[in-house]
Amino acid sequence: MVSENCRRAPWMMLGALAGGLALVGLAFADSLVGVIIAWTLVQVSYNFAQGPLSAVMPDRVPLRRRGTFAALSGIGLMVGALGGQIVGSLFFNSLTAGYIVFAMFALVVLALFVVANPDYPSTKIEPEPFRLNEFLRTFWVSPLKHPDFFWAFTGRLLLYTGYFLVIGYQLFLLTDYFGVEHPEQVIPLLGILSLVGILISTVVSGPLSDRIGRRKPFVFASALVVTLALLLPWMWPDLTAWMIMTFVAGFGFGMFQAVDTALMSEVLPSAKSFAKDLGVVNIAATLPQTLAPGLAGAIVLLFGYAGLFPVAIILGILGALAVWPIKPTR
């Protein structure tokens, strides 16, 4: 149960509650300024919950099992992201109801997690004196002192940006690039295709990386698979090509998602502040999903829709190469 002695649970619940209220506000926003403010609050609030939630793995999972755990958490992440697209398409003509449903769903699910997985009490932990300057400095991780963390963070940032640069712009690609008249009828199928690819690769890659004790090969392989997938609709601008790409790219991204969290947990700068460090790591996953659509819009204005694919491919390759210098993991 949530109590005053819990370390993580209260922050998770407060983030979920604030995020739900922000989503409801977004549902009733009737101006661009209102949408921007509400969406900003949504991002801040849910990341408020995501930070302590991401600390569950180093809190409770042994090092040798983290690949499997990362695979399971990766499945949850992508089922949420892609399943949300599928369910969201059902509210295509009733956005207000959709926002309210998702707000309630997130709050209920996170509450169930907190109840079913009791938090560790903090009664035996002696808190250090709070100093604002020291607190703010903890969010800066020096690339010189902690190069492995820097490279892992950069790799995740680039790979996520490349993937969501294209996937996050899917609705406009369907309507304006592929000429689909009713995208709400196609998006559920695309979500299922991507989800199947992700589930297959995630279930296999996470436990396999634990067994062979290697993470990097899976990151490199995922970048290669996603790159090959993105080449298809770039060279063949057709809905069929996009469907094939959705499955193959999902397979590649699932491979990355299965091992990346485990890789990140092995290069954290400090054992004392891993929750904070994982909160910083979470920025590399959430920031691309927030900014990628805006970046995609700028690319489309400059180079057209076809310009999204080579940019995403380059970012994916650079993200994989960024993992190469990491020393503590193979």
pLDDT tier at 127, thresholds 50, 70, 90: low
Q: Give the pLDDT confidence of 29-72 residue by residue, as tens digits.
A: 888 888 888 888 888 888 777 777 766 766 666 666 666 666 66
> HSE on the CB side for 218, CA within 13 Å?
32
pTM: 0.66
> How far is the C-alpha of 262 from the C-alpha of 64, rounded, in Å?
10
Does residue 310 have a pLDDT over 90? Answer: yes
Q: Tell me, which fold does domain 9-120+149-323 have in CATH?
A: Growth Hormone; Chain: A; (1.20.1250)
Does residue 136 have a pLDDT over 70? Answer: no
- Which two three-digit tokens encode residue 71? 């695979």
For all residues of the chain together, what is the average pLDDT? 78
The stretch 289-301 carries a mean pLDDT of 84
> How far is the C-alpha of 260 from the C-alpha of 223, rounded, in Å?
12
So what's the pLDDT on residue 154? 84
Does residue 97 have a pLDDT over 80? Answer: yes
Q: Which of 14-18, 28-32, 70-74, 282-286 has the highest mean pLDDT?
A: 14-18
Each as own residue / partner, the long-range contacts of residues 239-246 (CB below 8 Å, 24 or more positions apart, any chain) are: 239/174, 239/178, 239/180, 239/186, 242/173, 242/174, 242/178, 242/190, 243/189, 243/190, 243/193, 246/190, 246/193, 246/194, 246/197
Percentage of the chain lying above the pLDDT 70 cut: 73
Q: Are 12 and 35 in contact (CB under 8 A)?
A: no
So what's the pLDDT on residue 5? 44
So what's the pLDDT on residue 271? 53
Does residue 124 have a pLDDT over 60? Answer: no
> How far is the C-alpha of 250 from the C-alpha of 127, rounded, in Å?
43
Percentage of the chain lying above the pLDDT 90 cut: 6
